[in-house]
Amino acid sequence: MPVRAAGPVQGTPKVLANGPDLVAVEVTVEPGEQVFPGHYPGFPIFPGVCVVEYVHLGALATAPAPGLRLEAIESTRFLSPVFPGDRLVVELDWQRKGGSWRCKATAGTGRGRAAAVRLRFAEGSAR
């Protein structure tokens, strides 16, 4: 099992599909996530940075080339809240552009789209 640095989320996305037509992961946002007690006490909402981290982890789990590392979060758009107990499904679209890999992702729950995220990855070790 790969070693993961400390981050804002506790779960690990499960790969649902990693093929030419669909790349997707899922994770259940557990009510015990460490971020809930301080984020809107009494009305817990999963922070957007945590949604982005699950997109990042899903991208790493489905990477089209070995050794990719996150180089930039190009854009994020939050569309609806994510709550404790939600099943978060992330669909990813990988494209190679120049010397980088771009990953466009949408994250959603049973209520619809929750976020749109674009990440850029580089190959090889950190500069």
Q: Active site residue: 14, 39, 96, 111, which one? A: 39
What is the b/e burial string over 73-99, where b = at least 16 CB atoms within 10 angstroms of the residue's CB?
eeebebeebbbeebebbbbbebeeeee
Per-residue pLDDT of the chain (127 residues; tens, 9 = 90+): 454 556 789 999 999 999 988 999 999 999 999 888 877 778 899 999 999 999 999 999 999 999 999 999 999 999 999 999 999 999 999 999 988 999 999 999 999 999 999 999 998 765 5
Check residue 125 and give its pLDDT: 63
d(CA 61, CA 63): 6
Reported as type and span, the H/E element at residue 47 is none
Q: Which two tokens stand for residue 79?
A: 């569309």
Check residue 6 and give its pLDDT: 61
List the chain domain ranges.
14-122
| Amino acid code (one letter) for 119 | L
pTM: 0.91
- Our answer to whether residue 56 is catalytic in this structure is no
Give the position of tokens 């982005």: 52
Backbone angles phi, psi at 28, to 5 degrees: -90, 130
DSSP 16-29: EEESSS-EEEEEE-
Check residue 39 and give its pLDDT: 74
* Sign of the four-CA dihedral 35, 111, 120, 19: positive
For domain 14-122, give the CATH number: 3.10.129.10
Check residue 24 and give its pLDDT: 98
